[in-house]
Amino acid sequence: MRAVVTRVKHASVTIENEIHGQIGQGYLVLLGVGPSDTEEISVKLADKICNLRIFEDQEERMNLSLEQVGGSLLVVSQFTLYADTSSRRPGFS
């Protein structure tokens, strides 16, 4: 499993001019799932992401987690995180 995590003030996913998901403060997660990934791996990754301390506290230190700031997650499938880019034409095997 591969994830790109971005801290956001707000994020949304729009498909054909229709909003399919949106959040306020939290994480936009681009998630790639590979053929050998298991439920155990997904649980560990979810725990790691949710407990990242990358929100600022009152002293402007990155010290707060998603839960501590009342944030949300917007997870978007991103199969290209598993692309083979060894050539100019990516492969997805």
**Which residues are marked as active site?**
78-80
Q: Cα–Cα distance between 34 and 93 in angstroms, integer? A: 10
Alpha helices in 39-89 (DSSP H): 39-50
How many angstroms separate the CA atoms of 90 and 93, rounded? Answer: 10
